[in-house]
Each structure stands twice: as structure tokens, then as C-alpha cells.
Structure 1
Amino acid sequence: MPPKYPSIRRGRDGIPVLYDSDAARQFKERAWFPPQTASQVENLAKECVRERGGDVNDRKDVLGEFVLQSGKYRGQKFCWLLENCPGYVGWFVGSILEDRVKGDKSSVTQMANKDSLLMYCSMFEESRAIVSQKLSGRSKKIQDEWKRLCEKRNVVPGQQFHLLLSGRELSPEALRRKVRRIATPKRVTPNLKQPSRSPATADDMRLLEAVQEFEVESGNVF
């Protein structure tokens, strides 16, 4: 079965519309409920994909089944949100980014859900355009943060961790060199031939011999 991606509505000019659909206008805000953990949200989403014969390795498809854990439309799935209330999604993403810039105080559970929505919205050209349009009145710092997230969506597996540390991508060869340096640190051989400031004692020599014997027995000979 083909993956379930959002069918984003467009106007006569072909540009994605921002207004709510009839389904969104008729939606009644639900009573507060305890947010689900990130693992619960993901497991339920994968189960939905499996039930309709989808591929749980398709990240776009799985994220579309994620359920929003906060806000006016909490309880609705990400895919539904982009299809029915794209303007709200653009505004909500802007609020998330603004909180990040100022210092988000959300719980770990809520923050993980917001991160997933940011990732999902960065995956489609239409949703990227919608968010960018809604961010037009916000600060340049927030707009730059959104651009950075959209650029990061194409990072190849294995580079995400370094990108978090440095904010830029590494070439595959540079990444391999860094991994080798981390996995195989240099072994340092002490230069025992250099004269010390004080003569070695008999205890020092016995200690050195014991270390050398231990290295031979364990196979860790430098």
C-alpha cells in the first residue's frame, strides 16, 4: 500500500492555502489529557502504519501518524494537521522555534513531540513554504533557525551527532578520520631513556619490571 503523505490544499494560483478546512472548523478542542511519552507516540504510529500495510521504515509515513500532545488540536495526527489547518501548523511551529530561542521550559515529553512536528514539517516542500510564510513577521533569528532545520533534513545518517556539535556537515572522509581518531587513540610510549632529576630507586625499577611483565602477559605491548 502506498505511504500516506499529507494532501496539502492549494489555491487557484497553485500556492498552498493557509485557511482551515471544514473538518478543522468543526473540530472541538478536547479536554486535557496526560501527554504520552515519545516511545508511546512512536509505537502507536508504527502500529497504524502496519495495520494499513505501510512501511514502518518510511519516516515520513510514520511521523504522519504521530499524535500532537499539546495545543488547540492536541489528539490529532500530524498528517491531518497539515491537510486541515496548515496556517495553525505554521503558527505553532513559529511558537516552538521562538520558545527554543528564548529557552523552552516544556517537559521532556512535550519537547520530544514538538521536535517530531518540526521534523515532519521540514520534510515536505509545501509545509516548508507554509511555515516560512507564517514566520515572515517573526525575528530573523527564528527564521534562521527554521532554515537551519530544513537544511539539516538532508544530512546523511551518521552525521547528525557531529552536526549538533558543530552546526556544519563533514565530508564522508573527514567523518571517517574523526571516527578513527576516537576509536583508536594514539598510544604514548614513555621515554625512559631521558635522565630524571633524581636517580631511580630499587623500588622504581621493581615497579617498572612489574608493569612490563603485566603488558607481556596481557598482550598490550606498546
Structure 2
Amino acid sequence: MRPLSPEEVMDKARRAITQQHGDPSNRGHLMGFFKIQFGLFRGQTFRWVAENSLGYASYLVAVMKRDPTGGNKDSTEHALNKGCFKEYVELFLSGRIVIAMKEEQYAAKTPQHAASSQHLTTTEHAAPTQQVSTSQHASSSSLRSLLVGKNVENQSLTNEMKRLVSPNKTKSCKQTFIG
């Protein structure tokens, strides 16, 4: 299935937003109606993916941030759609927080990345347009504390948070149909 051109994506989004009496002049609202042209949820709207699979959406954005060129294998349509998707997910505080958590998970798994990566401050994750310099690195424990307002050591909360922000593991076709 070939990806839609950016013009086709925009036209379909404008028609959908008009049918739902939305505001087509609001870029964030309009982008919510863009259809994703790649990945597991191809054909779903950006809004649907962000609302129903924030962990997967944030994982994709974190990967895009690590490799903005997509390994130079993306078509122009895919590259533009990915850029819009990244912009859309980063519009929301919850998206930025989960992206930061995904980046931290990646950094923890790859020591060479952790040593060379630039540590973002808590305020950079929360408001990229109004950054205030602090020396505090936003760790997953400090992000967890946002959930309840204090530093949490509760293992069940940690497991629940991981479950909510991680993409679901699916069975392969072979496992599903053969047993």
C-alpha cells in the first residue's frame, strides 16, 4: 500500500475535521485528523494513536529523534508524515514525558549512548518553547513522582506505569494460526 501524499493527507484531514465541526485553522487540532502512513497503526489518525497507544507513539518519536533521517530509507511521503506525527505527539505534556521515559530506557540499555547523550532537564521535557535552565536530569523516578506528587518506590506503581507506556506485545501470525 503506497503512502498518501502530504496533500492527500491534508485534504482528508480537512474534510474529517469539517464533518466533526472542528477548527481547521488550529494546526494541532487539524494534525489530530492526519492519518498515519507508516508502522503498526497505518491508516489510524494521529489523535487515535496518541490516545490509544501513547507508549507506541512515544517509542516511534524517540526512535525518530535518534535517527531523524530514518536511515535514509523513508520516502518523501513517509518522512513528512513522520515529521508531522512527531510534532503532534510533542504538542502534549504527556507525550513529552513518555518520550523522555523512552529515551531514558534506551540510554540505560546502551552504555555508549548514555555517555554521549545530552541530558535534558525536567523543564525541557515539560515546555520545549519556554525552557528554564536547571541542572536536574529527569529520571523515570522523578517522572513517576509526577503521578502522585511524591517520590514513589512502590513496585506495583512502577509495573503499572511500564505497562501503560510500553507497546503491547502481539503474537506472530504463526503463533496465532498454528498454535
TM-score for both structures, normalised by structure 1: 0.48
- Aligned pairs, number: 118
Residue 40 of structure 1 and its aligned partner are, at CA, apart by 0.8
1:151 correspondence with 2:119: no
The one-letter code matched in structure 2 to 1:39 is E
Residue 105 of structure 1 and its aligned partner are, at CA, apart by 3.0
Bigger share in helix: 2
Contact 1:35/1:109 (8 A) holds in 2: yes
Residue 103 of structure 1 and its aligned partner are, at CA, apart by 4.8
Query: 1:112: which partner in 2?
Result: 80
Gaps of 5+ in 1: 1-32, 155-222
Residue 130 of structure 1 and its aligned partner are, at CA, apart by 1.3
TM-superposition CA deviations, 1:36-92 (whole Å, max 9, x none): 011110111111111111110011110100111011111111111111111111111
Matches of 1:40 and 1:118, distance apart in 2: 19
Q: In the superposition, relative to structure 1, how do residues 87 and 143 fare at CA in structure 2: closer, same or farther (>3 Å)?
A: farther
Matches of 1:117 and 1:104, distance apart in 2: 18
The one-letter code matched in structure 1 to 2:79 is M
Residue 122 of structure 1 and its aligned partner are, at CA, apart by 1.2
Contact 1:68/1:76 (8 A) holds in 2: yes
Query: 1:73: which partner in 2?
Result: 41
Look up the SS of the partner of 1:73 in the other structure: coil
Query: 2:105: which partner in 1?
Result: 137
Report the RMSD for the aligned CA atoms in angstroms.
2.4
Q: In the superposition, relative to structure 1, how do residues 43 and 92 fare at CA in structure 2: closer, same or farther (>3 Å)?
A: same
Matches of 1:130 and 1:66, distance apart in 2: 21
Contact 2:35/2:43 (8 A) holds in 1: yes
Matches of 1:73 and 1:82, distance apart in 2: 11
Contact 2:16/2:33 (8 A) holds in 1: yes
Query: 1:17: which partner in 2?
Result: none
Q: In the superposition, relative to structure 1, how do residues 92 and 116 fare at CA in structure 2: closer, same or farther (>3 Å)?
A: same
Matches of 2:92 and 2:81, distance apart in 1: 18
The one-letter code matched in structure 2 to 1:151 is P
The one-letter code matched in structure 1 to 2:128 is E
Q: How does 1:1-222 map to 2 (within 5 A)?
A: 33-100=1-68, 103-138=71-106, 139=113, 141=117, 151=128
Matches of 1:42 and 1:142, distance apart in 2: 35
Gaps of 5+ in 2: 107-112, 131-179
TM-score for both structures, normalised by structure 2: 0.59
Contact 1:98/1:142 (8 A) holds in 2: no
Q: In the superposition, relative to structure 1, how do residues 57 and 130 fare at CA in structure 2: closer, same or farther (>3 Å)?
A: same
Task: Pick the structure with greater CA Rg.
Answer: 1
Matches of 2:30 and 2:96, distance apart in 1: 18
- What percent identity do the matched residue pairs reach? 25
Residue 132 of structure 1 and its aligned partner are, at CA, apart by 1.1
